């Protein structure tokens, strides 16, 4: 068996705040209601995505790594992560606001949950008028001030709330309090982790369980970064047929590429897999004289052994993710 550009079958997740845009905007196929997340590339236990096309159809990420090792993920990635795939790629549709939450960093997540931490980034694909995100604090905060405001139900006044629009990018390191607001559709790139500490959930009752969702405030207190930052939004410039840097973290690197016409991408010096996330338009990826289509709301994984591809599009915009 040989490696080739891979698409995966998404895993759809019910969420109390989920809507219909994964179906109506991104053309996902499912029958359930209130689907809030489409897990596009996932190695999370019991939520593993499988290859959707070609000779490797049905294989999970872990199976692919076991077979192809560094040829699939990159030699340095394989040496560090072994048979575990390091990233989780999602699309998120927030019809209603998500809970205010925080994620633990690696050492705390390892100690408490035997898991990686959860550094992540958001790329806003669509935002309704006056849609907002919560990212960090809007002032200097101490653990004592935070706890008092949480107890008095006045936490919101400490939080940095920002209006958002299509194309906005935010990096959410572990420890940063955050929430996606109602009316936002976005792509999320994150470490392979499913550890979330809910701080506040608007006293909602889940219509499925008939209960309020669990909060994790004791756990969250030791995980929060209480520092105030002057700016939380990632700034970048766009150039046609050239990658523009978005987020370069120790956990993943992400560029954005606007493709018009043809663009050759050479990865011969990159010792990593590459993931394309199409956030606008559609394109074709040519490899080994074969064409692989990629439409808005789809992802494609290039195994590390693939050194060069040609991108073809009338116009498209895609996120390029690698380690």
| Same domain membership, residue 282 and residue 260 | yes
Domain-embedded: residue 31: yes
| Same domain membership, residue 259 and residue 160 | no
What's the CA gap between 259 and 264, in Å, rounded?
10
CA of 321: how far to CAs of 87, 124, 275, in Å? 10, 16, 5
pLDDT of residue 116: 87
| Same domain membership, residue 287 and residue 168 | no
| Same domain membership, residue 188 and residue 309 | no
| Same domain membership, residue 133 and residue 19 | yes
| Same domain membership, residue 117 and residue 14 | yes
The domain of 298 spans 243-322
| Same domain membership, residue 130 and residue 250 | no
| Same domain membership, residue 99 and residue 54 | yes
pLDDT of residue 206: 86
**DSSP character string of 19-53:** ESHHHHTT------SSEEEEEEE--STT---EE-S
| Same domain membership, residue 302 and residue 207 | no
Q: What φ, ψ does residue 148 adopt, rounded to 5°?
A: -65, -45
Domain-embedded: residue 296: yes
The contacts of residue 154 (CB under 8 Å, 6+ apart) are none
Domain-embedded: residue 3: no
Domain-embedded: residue 169: yes
Q: Of 216, 234, 252, at which residue does a domain stop? A: 234
pLDDT of residue 215: 92
| Same domain membership, residue 189 and residue 43 | yes
Domain-embedded: residue 209: yes
What's the CA gap between 302 and 308, in Å, rounded?
10
Domain-embedded: residue 27: yes
| Same domain membership, residue 44 and residue 116 | yes
Q: Of 199, 234, 269, at which residue does a domain stop? A: 234
Q: What φ, ψ does residue 78 adopt, rounded to 5°?
A: -65, -40
| Total-model pTM | 0.95
Domain count, the chain: 2
Domain-embedded: residue 1: no
| Same domain membership, residue 190 and residue 292 | no
Closest CA to 311 of 303, 204, 302, 173: 302
pLDDT of residue 203: 86
- CATH number of 46's domain: 2.60.120.10
Domain-embedded: residue 2: no
Q: Of 214, 234, 254, at which residue does a domain stop? A: 234
Residues in the chain where the model's pLDDT stays below 70: none
């Amino acid at each position: 068996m040989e490696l080739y550009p891979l698409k995966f079958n998404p895993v759809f997740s019910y969420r109390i705040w989920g809507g219909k845009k994964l179906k109506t905007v991104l053309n996902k196929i499912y029958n359930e209601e209130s689907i809030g997340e489409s897990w596009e590339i996932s190695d999370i236990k019991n939520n593993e995505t499988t290859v959707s096309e070609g000779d490797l159809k049905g294989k999970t990420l872990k199976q692919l790594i076991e077979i192809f090792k560094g040829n699939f993920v990159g030699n340095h990635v394989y040496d560090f992560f072994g048979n575990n795939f390091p990233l989780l790629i999602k699309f998120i549709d927030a019809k209603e606001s998500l809970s205010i939450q925080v994620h633990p960093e690696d050492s705390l997540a390892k100690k408490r949950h035997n898991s990686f931490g959860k550094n992540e980034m958001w790329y806003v694909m669509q935002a309704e008028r006056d849609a907002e995100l919560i990212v960090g604090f809007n002032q200097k905060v101490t653990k004592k001030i935070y706890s008092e405001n949480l107890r008095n139900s006045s936490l919101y006044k400490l939080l940095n709330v920002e209006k958002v629009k299509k194309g906005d990018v935010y990096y959410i390191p572990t420890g940063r309090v955050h929430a996606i607001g109602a009316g936002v559709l976005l792509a999320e790139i994150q470490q392979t982790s499913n550890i979330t500490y809910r701080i506040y959930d608007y006293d909602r009752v889940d219509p499925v369980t008939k209960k309020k969702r669990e909060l994790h405030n004791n756990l969250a207190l030791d995980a929060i970064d209480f520092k105030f930052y002057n700016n939380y939004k990632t700034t970048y410039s766009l150039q046609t047929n050239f990658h523009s840097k978005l987020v370069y973290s120790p956990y993943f690197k992400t560029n954005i590429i606007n493709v018009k016409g043809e663009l050759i991408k050479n990865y011969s010096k990159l010792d990593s897999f590459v993931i394309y996330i199409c956030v606008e338009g559609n394109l074709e990826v040519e490899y080994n004289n074969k064409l692989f289509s990629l439409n808005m709301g789809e992802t494609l994984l290039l195994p590390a052994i693939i050194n060069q591809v040609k991108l073809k599009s009338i116009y498209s915009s895609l996120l390029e993710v690698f380690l």
